[in-house]
């Protein structure tokens, strides 16, 4: 039963984007901005390193639970031809600011691999329109508080993951001259189904433009140490935890009832 309960909790909490847990991912924080990896070393662009950047840190890791350790200083360098407000080199990796989309045309770093095309091997389904609150990462987007023009299955009835590929167009949302979506930005997305995925075709603002995302927006409250990380989804995580706890209680009760039914009656045998 403990393994089953753990599986239920995992499933209920699995809607949280990796960046929300973040403490052990490959992140660097510089000037209160979170940077993370998009390309693998083999697929990523060839880089010419620029000036050293002072004050970069890596968030502490609490993958075994407990308090989050304090961030550790790490080396970081600019990249020639790219603003450090967009991408840097740190921890041996090319890291991009959360909210940018390196796979879109016009990004200042050109990968060695072919541009990502999410629809290359699938037959596109009907068009639909989604509105909601964006929880972006690097090159990806999760939509919360979703409203859809067609019935769609949502994670925990609250979230939906969307693919962004080379054909996606983001208009009215930019930072440093590049398409950018800030944490919590309300957006309208024209999408198409592609197999088991939804692929964004156009993304436009559906509310006031939000400020640039801080490290706390991306990594959660408490990432500087001294406490547990509170995920960026806030109430969504608490709902998932409550659902998971209820499911575990129900499973335990059913298991005990089944055990009683399968036990021999007193005096038998």
pLDDT mean over 241-250: 38
Strand pairing category for 197-205 and 169-170: parallel
**Amino acid 113: pLDDT:** 82
pLDDT band with cut points at 50, 70 and 90 for residue 30: very high
CA angle 134, 136, 139 (to 5 degrees): 135
Reference 203, options 191, 213, 189; nearest CA is 189
pLDDT mean over 241-268: 41
The share of the chain scoring above pLDDT 90, in percent, equals 48
Beta carbons of 48 and 81 less than 8 angstroms apart: yes
Largest Cα–Cα distance in the chain? Answer: 84
**Amino acid 155: pLDDT:** 56
pLDDT mean over 185-208: 94
Lowest mean pLDDT among 33-47, 53-67, 221-235, 242-256: 242-256
252 or 218, which is more confident? Answer: 218
Handedness of CA 121, 122, 128, 133 (dihedral sign): negative
Tokens of 194: 């592609």
pLDDT band with cut points at 50, 70 and 90 for residue 244: very low
Kindly report, residue by residue over 132-147, the tens digit of the pLDDT. 999 999 999 999 998 8
pLDDT at 191 > cutoff 90: yes
pLDDT at 156 > cutoff 50: yes
Q: What is the pTM of this model?
A: 0.74
In whole angstroms, give the CA distance from residue 188 to residue 148.
10
Reference 169, options 126, 125, 106; nearest CA is 106
pLDDT at 164 > cutoff 90: yes
Name the strand (E) or helix (H) holding 219: helix 215-219
Strand pairing category for 57-58 and 72-73: antiparallel
Reference 73, options 98, 89, 92, 54; nearest CA is 54
Could you give all domains of the chain from N- to C-terminal order, each with its CATH number? 1-16+233-262 (no CATH), 23-97 (no CATH), 99-212 (2.40.50)
The residue with tokens 């740190």 is: 90
pLDDT mean over 196-210: 94
**Amino acid 251: pLDDT:** 42
Mean of pLDDT over the chain: 77
């Amino acid at each position: 039963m403990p393994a089953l309960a753990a599986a239920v909790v995992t499933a209920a909490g699995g809607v949280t984007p990796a960046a929300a847990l973040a403490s052990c991912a490959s992140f660097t924080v510089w000037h209160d901005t979170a940077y993370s990896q998009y390309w693998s070393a083999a697929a990523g662009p060839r880089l010419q390193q620029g000036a050293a950047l002072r004050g970069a840190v890596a968030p502490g890791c609490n993958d075994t639970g407990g308090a989050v350790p304090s961030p550790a200083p790490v080396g970081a360098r600019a990249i020639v031809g790219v603003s450090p407000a967009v991408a840097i080199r740190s921890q041996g990796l090319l890291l991009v600011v959360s909210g940018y989309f390196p796979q879109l045309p016009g990004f200042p770093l050109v990968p060695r691999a072919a541009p990502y095309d999410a629809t290359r091997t699938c037959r596109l389904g009907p068009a639909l329109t989604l509105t909601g609150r964006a929880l972006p990462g690097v090159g990806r987007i999760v939509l919360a508080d979703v409203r859809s023009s067609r019935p769609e299955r949502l994670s925990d009835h609250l979230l939906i993951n969307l693919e962004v590929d080379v054909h996606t167009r983001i208009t009215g949302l930019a930072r440093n001259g590049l398409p950018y979506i800030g944490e919590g930005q309300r957006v309208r997305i024209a999408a198409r189904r592609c197999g088991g995925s939804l692929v964004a075709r156009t993304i436009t603002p559906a509310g006031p433009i939000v400020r640039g995302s801080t490290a706390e927006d991306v990594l959660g409250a408490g990432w500087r140490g001294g406490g547990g990380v509170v995920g960026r989804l806030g109430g969504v995580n608490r709902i998932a935890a409550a659902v998971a706890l209820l499911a575990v209680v129900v499973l335990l009760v059913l298991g005990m009832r089944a055990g009683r039914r399968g036990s021999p009656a007193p005096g038998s045998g």
